[in-house]
Amino acid sequence: MRMRIVDAFTDRPFTGNPAGVLLLDTFPEDDWLQRVAREINHPETAFAHPLPEDAEAHWALRWFTPATEVAMCGHATLATAHVLYTTGAHTGPVRFATRSGVLSAAPADDGSITLDFPTASLTPVEVPDGVAEALGAAPSTVVDTGASVGDLLVELADEKTVRALEPDLHALAACSARGVIATARAEDPARGYDYVSRCFFPNVGIDEDPVTGSAHTALAPFWSARLGRDDLTGLQASARSGLVRTTVRGERTLLAGHAVTVVEGDLLV
Protein backbone atom coordinates (compact mmCIF):
# COMPACT_ATOMS: atom_id res chain seq x y z
CA MET A 1 0.00 0.00 0.00
CA ARG A 2 1.09 3.57 -0.60
CA MET A 3 2.35 5.64 2.30
CA ARG A 4 2.84 9.38 2.18
CA ILE A 5 4.35 11.93 4.52
CA VAL A 6 2.81 15.37 4.27
CA ASP A 7 3.92 18.61 5.91
CA ALA A 8 0.74 20.41 7.02
CA PHE A 9 0.01 24.06 7.75
CA THR A 10 2.83 25.12 5.47
CA ASP A 11 3.57 25.48 1.77
CA ARG A 12 7.27 24.65 2.14
CA PRO A 13 8.84 21.23 2.75
CA PHE A 14 10.46 20.53 6.11
CA THR A 15 8.32 23.07 7.95
CA GLY A 16 4.84 22.82 9.44
CA ASN A 17 3.77 19.55 11.04
CA PRO A 18 4.56 16.21 9.35
CA ALA A 19 1.93 13.47 9.22
CA GLY A 20 1.91 10.00 7.77
CA VAL A 21 -1.12 9.27 5.58
CA LEU A 22 -2.33 5.83 4.45
CA LEU A 23 -5.46 5.29 2.37
CA LEU A 24 -6.83 1.79 3.04
CA ASP A 25 -9.71 -0.41 1.97
CA THR A 26 -10.74 -0.92 5.59
CA PHE A 27 -9.15 -0.56 9.03
CA PRO A 28 -6.92 -3.48 10.09
CA GLU A 29 -6.54 -4.38 13.76
CA ASP A 30 -5.67 -1.54 16.12
CA ASP A 31 -2.33 -3.11 17.01
CA TRP A 32 -1.24 -2.98 13.36
CA LEU A 33 -2.28 0.67 13.05
CA GLN A 34 -0.33 1.54 16.19
CA ARG A 35 2.76 -0.32 14.99
CA VAL A 36 2.71 1.55 11.68
CA ALA A 37 2.35 4.88 13.48
CA ARG A 38 5.27 3.95 15.73
CA GLU A 39 7.35 3.02 12.66
CA ILE A 40 6.56 6.28 10.85
CA ASN A 41 7.30 8.07 14.14
CA HIS A 42 5.79 11.45 13.30
CA PRO A 43 3.48 13.35 15.63
CA GLU A 44 0.47 11.74 13.94
CA THR A 45 -0.26 9.11 11.31
CA ALA A 46 -3.69 9.19 9.68
CA PHE A 47 -5.49 6.11 8.37
CA ALA A 48 -8.55 6.54 6.13
CA HIS A 49 -10.83 4.31 4.09
CA PRO A 50 -13.84 5.12 1.87
CA LEU A 51 -17.38 4.65 3.19
CA PRO A 52 -20.50 3.51 1.33
CA GLU A 53 -22.42 6.12 -0.62
CA ASP A 54 -25.28 6.12 1.89
CA ALA A 55 -23.00 6.83 4.88
CA GLU A 56 -23.00 10.16 6.71
CA ALA A 57 -19.43 10.81 5.58
CA HIS A 58 -17.22 10.02 2.60
CA TRP A 59 -14.24 8.55 4.48
CA ALA A 60 -13.58 7.02 7.89
CA LEU A 61 -10.53 8.59 9.55
CA ARG A 62 -8.40 7.69 12.57
CA TRP A 63 -5.23 9.23 13.97
CA PHE A 64 -2.38 7.66 15.95
CA THR A 65 0.67 9.18 17.61
CA PRO A 66 3.66 6.87 18.06
CA ALA A 67 2.21 6.09 21.50
CA THR A 68 -1.59 6.09 21.26
CA GLU A 69 -4.76 6.78 19.26
CA VAL A 70 -6.15 10.31 19.66
CA ALA A 71 -9.69 11.63 19.39
CA MET A 72 -8.94 14.68 17.25
CA CYS A 73 -6.08 15.87 15.04
CA GLY A 74 -6.16 18.90 12.80
CA HIS A 75 -2.88 18.69 10.93
CA ALA A 76 -3.26 15.01 9.99
CA THR A 77 -6.81 15.72 8.77
CA LEU A 78 -5.42 18.52 6.60
CA ALA A 79 -2.72 16.13 5.37
CA THR A 80 -5.31 13.45 4.54
CA ALA A 81 -7.48 15.88 2.59
CA HIS A 82 -4.37 17.04 0.72
CA VAL A 83 -3.59 13.43 -0.29
CA LEU A 84 -7.18 12.83 -1.40
CA TYR A 85 -7.10 15.92 -3.60
CA THR A 86 -3.62 15.48 -5.06
CA THR A 87 -4.19 11.80 -5.91
CA GLY A 88 -7.69 12.31 -7.29
CA ALA A 89 -9.19 9.97 -4.69
CA HIS A 90 -11.74 12.68 -3.88
CA THR A 91 -12.77 16.02 -5.33
CA GLY A 92 -14.57 18.91 -3.67
CA PRO A 93 -15.59 19.11 -0.01
CA VAL A 94 -14.96 15.89 1.92
CA ARG A 95 -16.57 14.62 5.11
CA PHE A 96 -14.69 12.40 7.56
CA ALA A 97 -16.29 10.10 10.15
CA THR A 98 -14.09 10.28 13.26
CA ARG A 99 -14.12 9.73 17.02
CA SER A 100 -14.96 13.47 17.29
CA GLY A 101 -17.96 13.23 14.98
CA VAL A 102 -18.12 14.24 11.34
CA LEU A 103 -15.37 16.69 10.36
CA SER A 104 -15.12 18.27 6.94
CA ALA A 105 -12.48 19.78 4.66
CA ALA A 106 -12.82 21.91 1.54
CA PRO A 107 -10.25 23.02 -1.04
CA ALA A 108 -9.80 26.67 -2.03
CA ASP A 109 -8.63 28.26 -5.27
CA ASP A 110 -5.33 29.34 -3.68
CA GLY A 111 -4.41 25.72 -2.92
CA SER A 112 -5.22 25.93 0.78
CA ILE A 113 -7.62 23.60 2.57
CA THR A 114 -10.15 24.68 5.18
CA LEU A 115 -11.14 22.33 8.00
CA ASP A 116 -14.48 22.62 9.82
CA PHE A 117 -14.01 21.53 13.45
CA PRO A 118 -16.03 21.92 16.67
CA THR A 119 -15.13 24.98 18.71
CA ALA A 120 -13.57 24.03 22.03
CA SER A 121 -15.38 24.92 25.23
CA LEU A 122 -13.33 27.34 27.32
CA THR A 123 -13.62 27.46 31.11
CA PRO A 124 -11.38 29.83 33.10
CA VAL A 125 -9.72 28.09 36.03
CA GLU A 126 -7.33 28.99 38.81
CA VAL A 127 -3.69 28.42 38.01
CA PRO A 128 -3.15 24.75 38.95
CA ASP A 129 -0.38 23.92 41.37
CA GLY A 130 2.88 23.23 39.59
CA VAL A 131 2.00 24.72 36.19
CA ALA A 132 4.19 27.83 36.53
CA GLU A 133 7.09 25.74 37.81
CA ALA A 134 6.70 23.15 35.03
CA LEU A 135 6.56 25.79 32.33
CA GLY A 136 9.19 28.05 33.82
CA ALA A 137 6.89 31.07 33.39
CA ALA A 138 3.99 32.57 35.33
CA PRO A 139 0.58 32.38 33.58
CA SER A 140 -1.66 35.45 33.52
CA THR A 141 -4.71 33.37 32.52
CA VAL A 142 -5.44 29.63 32.50
CA VAL A 143 -8.35 28.06 30.63
CA ASP A 144 -9.60 24.47 30.53
CA THR A 145 -10.32 23.54 26.89
CA GLY A 146 -12.85 20.80 27.66
CA ALA A 147 -12.97 17.11 26.90
CA SER A 148 -12.81 17.47 23.10
CA VAL A 149 -9.32 19.00 23.27
CA GLY A 150 -8.11 18.02 26.73
CA ASP A 151 -5.48 20.71 27.28
CA LEU A 152 -4.81 23.60 29.57
CA LEU A 153 -4.52 26.85 27.61
CA VAL A 154 -2.07 29.12 29.39
CA GLU A 155 -1.68 32.80 28.50
CA LEU A 156 1.77 34.21 29.17
CA ALA A 157 3.08 37.75 29.40
CA ASP A 158 4.33 38.18 25.85
CA GLU A 159 5.56 36.48 22.68
CA LYS A 160 9.17 36.46 23.86
CA THR A 161 8.20 34.45 26.93
CA VAL A 162 6.38 31.86 24.81
CA ARG A 163 9.31 31.50 22.42
CA ALA A 164 11.82 31.11 25.26
CA LEU A 165 9.99 28.30 27.12
CA GLU A 166 12.02 25.25 28.13
CA PRO A 167 9.43 23.35 30.18
CA ASP A 168 9.95 20.41 32.50
CA LEU A 169 7.97 17.92 30.41
CA HIS A 170 7.79 15.27 33.14
CA ALA A 171 6.23 17.78 35.51
CA LEU A 172 4.00 19.19 32.77
CA ALA A 173 2.49 15.74 32.12
CA ALA A 174 0.71 15.91 35.47
CA CYS A 175 -1.02 19.20 34.64
CA SER A 176 -3.73 18.08 32.17
CA ALA A 177 -5.17 15.15 30.24
CA ARG A 178 -3.24 15.75 27.02
CA GLY A 179 -0.95 18.72 27.49
CA VAL A 180 -0.47 22.46 27.72
CA ILE A 181 -0.96 25.18 25.12
CA ALA A 182 1.14 28.26 25.87
CA THR A 183 0.11 31.43 24.08
CA ALA A 184 0.53 35.21 23.93
CA ARG A 185 -0.50 38.12 21.75
CA ALA A 186 1.77 38.78 18.77
CA GLU A 187 4.45 41.34 19.48
CA ASP A 188 4.03 42.84 15.99
CA PRO A 189 0.87 41.88 14.04
CA ALA A 190 2.44 43.44 10.92
CA ARG A 191 4.49 40.23 10.68
CA GLY A 192 1.38 38.41 9.52
CA TYR A 193 0.02 36.76 12.66
CA ASP A 194 -2.16 37.86 15.58
CA TYR A 195 -1.10 35.45 18.30
CA VAL A 196 1.64 32.95 18.96
CA SER A 197 1.53 29.54 20.61
CA ARG A 198 3.53 26.46 21.51
CA CYS A 199 2.02 23.06 22.40
CA PHE A 200 3.46 20.41 24.70
CA PHE A 201 1.79 16.96 24.81
CA PRO A 202 3.98 14.56 26.83
CA ASN A 203 0.97 12.42 27.78
CA VAL A 204 0.50 11.24 24.18
CA GLY A 205 4.19 10.83 23.37
CA ILE A 206 4.74 14.27 21.76
CA ASP A 207 7.07 16.51 23.75
CA GLU A 208 6.37 19.52 21.53
CA ASP A 209 3.99 19.40 18.58
CA PRO A 210 5.16 21.49 15.60
CA VAL A 211 1.72 22.83 14.54
CA THR A 212 -1.50 21.72 16.23
CA GLY A 213 -4.84 22.14 14.47
CA SER A 214 -6.93 20.92 17.40
CA ALA A 215 -5.29 23.44 19.75
CA HIS A 216 -6.45 26.22 17.45
CA THR A 217 -10.08 25.26 18.07
CA ALA A 218 -9.37 26.68 21.54
CA LEU A 219 -6.89 29.40 20.56
CA ALA A 220 -9.26 30.86 17.96
CA PRO A 221 -12.19 31.62 20.32
CA PHE A 222 -9.77 32.65 23.08
CA TRP A 223 -8.08 35.30 20.94
CA SER A 224 -11.16 36.28 18.94
CA ALA A 225 -12.83 37.31 22.20
CA ARG A 226 -9.80 39.38 23.21
CA LEU A 227 -9.06 40.95 19.84
CA GLY A 228 -12.66 41.49 18.74
CA ARG A 229 -12.32 39.73 15.37
CA ASP A 230 -13.54 36.36 14.12
CA ASP A 231 -10.80 36.01 11.46
CA LEU A 232 -7.28 35.67 12.83
CA THR A 233 -3.95 34.03 12.03
CA GLY A 234 -1.99 32.07 14.60
CA LEU A 235 1.73 31.30 14.45
CA GLN A 236 2.82 28.13 16.23
CA ALA A 237 6.39 28.99 17.13
CA SER A 238 7.97 25.54 17.22
CA ALA A 239 11.32 24.84 15.59
CA ARG A 240 9.47 23.90 12.35
CA SER A 241 6.81 26.63 12.70
CA GLY A 242 3.53 27.01 10.83
CA LEU A 243 0.58 29.34 10.28
CA VAL A 244 -3.10 28.52 10.92
CA ARG A 245 -5.80 30.90 9.68
CA THR A 246 -8.78 30.68 12.04
CA THR A 247 -12.40 31.76 11.78
CA VAL A 248 -14.83 31.35 14.67
CA ARG A 249 -18.42 30.63 13.70
CA GLY A 250 -20.15 29.93 16.99
CA GLU A 251 -19.97 26.22 17.72
CA ARG A 252 -17.67 25.60 14.72
CA THR A 253 -14.16 26.87 14.02
CA LEU A 254 -12.58 26.93 10.57
CA LEU A 255 -8.87 26.13 10.32
CA ALA A 256 -7.17 26.93 7.02
CA GLY A 257 -3.69 26.17 5.74
CA HIS A 258 -1.59 24.63 3.01
CA ALA A 259 0.12 21.24 2.83
CA VAL A 260 2.89 19.67 0.77
CA THR A 261 3.77 16.01 0.18
CA VAL A 262 7.45 15.33 0.90
CA VAL A 263 7.65 11.50 0.82
CA GLU A 264 5.75 8.86 -1.12
CA GLY A 265 6.53 5.16 -1.11
CA ASP A 266 5.33 1.59 -0.51
CA LEU A 267 4.64 0.05 2.88
CA LEU A 268 5.78 -3.54 2.45
CA VAL A 269 4.13 -5.20 5.48
Active site residues: 44
SS3 99: coil
Within 13 Å, how many C-alpha atoms sit on residue 18's CB side?
Answer: 18
Burial of 46 (0-12, 13-18, 19+ CB in 10 A): buried
Rg over alpha carbons for the chain, rounded to the nearest Å, is 18
Q: Residue 167: which of 177, 154, 186, 150 has the closest Cα? A: 154
List C-alpha distances in Å: 137 to 126, 161, 239. 15, 7, 19
In angstroms, the CA 62 to CA 116 distance is: 16
Q: Are residues 172 and 152 in contact, defined by beta-carbon separation less than 8 angstroms? A: no
Contact 216, 198 (CB under 8 A): no
